[in-house]
Structures are given as C-alpha cells and as structure tokens.
Amino acid sequence: MEQYDTIRIRFDGPICMLQINRPEANNTINDLLIAEFQDVLQRYRDTITVLVIEGLPEVFCFGADFQAIERSLAGGEAKGQDPEPLYNIWLDLATGPYVSVAHVRGKANAGGMGFVAACDIVLANETAIFSLSELLFGLMPACVLPFLNRRIGFQKAHYLTLMTQPISVQKAEAWGLVDAYDANSENLLRKHLLRLRRLSKKGITRYKRYMGDLDGSLAQARTQALAANLEVFTDMDNLDKIARYVTTGVFPWEE
C-alpha cells in the first residue's frame, strides 16, 4: 500500500478510512496533503463503497496552512494555494461513486469545513466545534460556501461567515451540518458502517450520479468560487496580515 506523509489510510473490505495526520501543523491543508488526497481518490474511488475522513482527536482540520503561506511570502513568492484541486476533491466527495463520511472530533475550521460540508454523512463527538474564521484576515470561504450553502442553507452559512465564531456540535446538528453525534463517536461510526456495508457499489454509483444531476449547483459555482478565492489569497494586504500573525501572533484587528 502507498505510504503518505500527511494522511494515513487503512481498509476494511470496501471501506477506506482516511485520517488527516499533520499534528505538527494543527491538521492544516497544504499542497502535499491535497496531492496525497487526490492520489487516494484516483486509486480507490472506483472500488470502495465508503470513504471515512477523520482527523486527530483534538482537531479535525483547521483550514489553510498559514505557515506555508508565510514561508512562500518570505521567500518572495506571494501566492496562496491553487484552489481548484481542493475544490475538485470536495466535488468528488459530494458526487463521487462512494458514500463519503466525515467523522469530526475537535475543531473543524475554514477549509476543514469544506471537507465536512462536502460529505454525504457527518458524524461527530461532543467535542466537535465548527467555524469559519476567514473574514478575520480579509479572506472569505469562497470554495467552502457552495458546499455549505447546499447543506445548511444560505443564511446560516452567511451567519457563520460573518460572525467567525465557532458553533457547538449541538447547534451544528440542529442546523443540519451534523447528522448525528455522541460522546462515543467511534461507536456511532461503527453502527453507521455496519449499515452502509449493505449497499452495493452499483447502487451507490447510480444514486450519487442521480443526486448530482438533480443538483448541479456545485459544478456551476466552481468558476466563481475559484475566482473569489484567488482574489483574496493574492491580495498582498491579506498575505501580510497572515505573515504577521504567523510570526508575531498579532491578529489583524490588533493593529
């Protein structure tokens, strides 16, 4: 089996368990994580029936790797991540020929919310909290919002974006972001997988294709989402704020 640096995978029959594993970087998203995630999908999407995405016990995924952005800026290369590969990963989670399950423990923030919102099923434990912090740095969750709007509706996604504060797992369930949660989320996940095992690959593939045809909003939103993401992540003022936060811990509003 292929070995990866930023993720861990294991298989239980037709079920693939994928763990985001960057403890040294607060489980943030960098180019290597995106490339390794893409590799897993390319290798296994047509054979697995279920893909479970997990993080670490304290943090599911915290969004873009600001330290990587600061390093590129310090090296004279003012750029953020190319948003298209990550958007395409989320699009595959939403429409691909398998059941995607997010198992959330701890913090899901910014781009981490993209993984959550894109999945077919979201399970969580009682420590899970959910937030969109982008506007604090002059950014916006441009690529997350098409998936989040589809899952919880425009106004709730709008409120999360503007307030930048985390919401509890209880509120997330009430809003429809989380399908089920429990103090023992591992047992909750096991119960769901026992049921999902009964679904055939052909049945899942046909159903996901049909659902994707019913709602083509994610593909339609891609061009606008990518353009908006590039606009804010190539703004030097925003990049300077990110770099200062990484090097000094000073937030933009503390100027």
Q: What is the helix (H) or strand (E) element at residue 160, kind and residue range?
A: helix 154-163
Mean pLDDT (whole number) for 58-85: 86
Inside any domain, residue 168: yes
Count of structural domains within the chain: 1
Could you tell me the CATH number of the domain that includes residue 123?
A: 3.90.226.10
* Residue 65 annotated as catalytic: yes
Helix ranges restricted to H, 1-128: 31-44, 66-74, 83-95, 111-118
Give the integer Cα–Cα distance in Å for 172 and 204.
26
Which pLDDT score, from 0 to 100, does residue 76 have? 72
Active-site residue among 54, 92, 120, 134? 134
Could you tell me if residue 243 is inside a domain?
A: no
- Cβ proximity of 67 and 81 under 8 Å: no
Per-residue pLDDT tens over the stretch 198-215: 999 999 999 999 999 998
Dihedral Cα 216, 218, 223, 227, nearest 10 deg: 160
Q: Is 92 a catalytic residue?
A: no
- Look at residue 47 and tell me if it is in a domain: yes
Out of 65, 70, 92, 120, the active site residue is 65
Residue 128 located in a structural domain: yes
pTM for the model stands at 0.96
158-168 tens-digit pLDDT? 999 999 999 99
Question: For residues 128 and 105, is the Cβ–Cβ distance under 8 A?
Answer: yes
Q: Is residue 1 one of the residues assigned to a domain?
A: no
Sign of CA dihedral 25, 223, 133, 181: negative
- Residue 109 forms beta bridges with which residues? 131
In-domain check, residue 127: yes
> In the structure, what pLDDT confidence band is assigned to residue 74 with cuts at 50, 70 and 90?
confident
| Per-residue pLDDT tens digits for 103-153 | 999 999 999 999 999 999 999 999 999 999 999 999 999 999 999 999 999
Tell me which residue range forms the domain holding 105: 7-183
